[in-house]
């Protein structure tokens, strides 16, 4: 089950700061040079500027760079990486399953910006949310609401679940490849325990 509205809380300068991975921030950070893969690499390399760029949208702390340095960029790496994954609509605890409906069947050469744009179209089109409501929702919330809308339409008009799922399913592996492909990631298949 995809986690919904899973905010991430970090402590910086003695203050708890909640990082909400909503579509608004996903779109902004995806537009950076190198998109999410570059941002992830910078976080793992201990980049102060990457940490500041993520956190600044969620706080009005003065001297944010200095406070992050005092806290330690390395201590923030794990929550910041989880935040970037949530922005990409990826739940690290989520195993590939057939019960997840995705809005767009993405080809591997499709830019991730198109996936985020499809989430916006779903929120404002299919779901009838305002642009602000859509931009304030997380990718997981948009996808679950979309799935609920499809379930409603199926119950009213009939139809098979498999038809829609096969046409619109994007496996978790493909999400990783699209979001973090240029990062040089590889998919490791888990072996069966003996």
The CA distance from 129 to 25, in Å, is 18
8 bridge partner residues: 19
Residue scoring higher pLDDT (166 or 175)? 175
For residue range 99-145, what is the model confidence (pLDDT) as tens digits? 454 444 445 566 889 999 999 999 999 999 999 999 999 999 999 99
For residue range 24-49, what is the model confidence (pLDDT) as tens digits? 999 999 999 988 889 999 999 999 99
Average pLDDT over residues 67-71: 95
Contact 19, 101 (CB under 8 A): no
Q: pTM (2 decimals)?
A: 0.72
11 bridge partner residues: 16
Contact 171, 89 (CB under 8 A): no
What is the pLDDT of the chain when averaged over all its residues? 81
């Amino acid at each position: 089950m995809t986690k919904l509205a899973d905010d991430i809380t970090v402590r910086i300068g003695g203050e708890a700061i909640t990082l909400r991975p909503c579509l608004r921030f996903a779109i902004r950070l995806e537009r950076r040079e190198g998109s999410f893969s570059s941002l992830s690499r910078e976080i793992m390399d201990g980049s102060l500027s990457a940490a500041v760029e993520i956190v600044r949208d969620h706080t009005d702390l003065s001297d944010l760079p200095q406070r992050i340095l005092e806290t330690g960029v390395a201590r923030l790496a794990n929550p910041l990486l989880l935040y970037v994954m949530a922005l990409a609509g990826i739940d690290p605890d989520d195993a590939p399953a057939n019960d997840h409906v995705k809005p767009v069947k993405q080809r591997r050469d499709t830019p991730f910006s198109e996936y985020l744009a499809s989430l916006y179209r779903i929120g404002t089109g299919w779901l009838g949310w305002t642009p602000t409501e859509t931009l304030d929702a997380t990718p997981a919330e948009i996808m679950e609401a979309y799935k609920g809308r499809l379930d409603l339409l199926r119950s009213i008009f009939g139809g098979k679940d498999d038809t829609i799922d096969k046409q619109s399913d994007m496996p978790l592996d493909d999400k990783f490849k699209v979001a973090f492909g240029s990062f040089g990631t590889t998919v490791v298949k888990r072996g069966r325990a003996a």
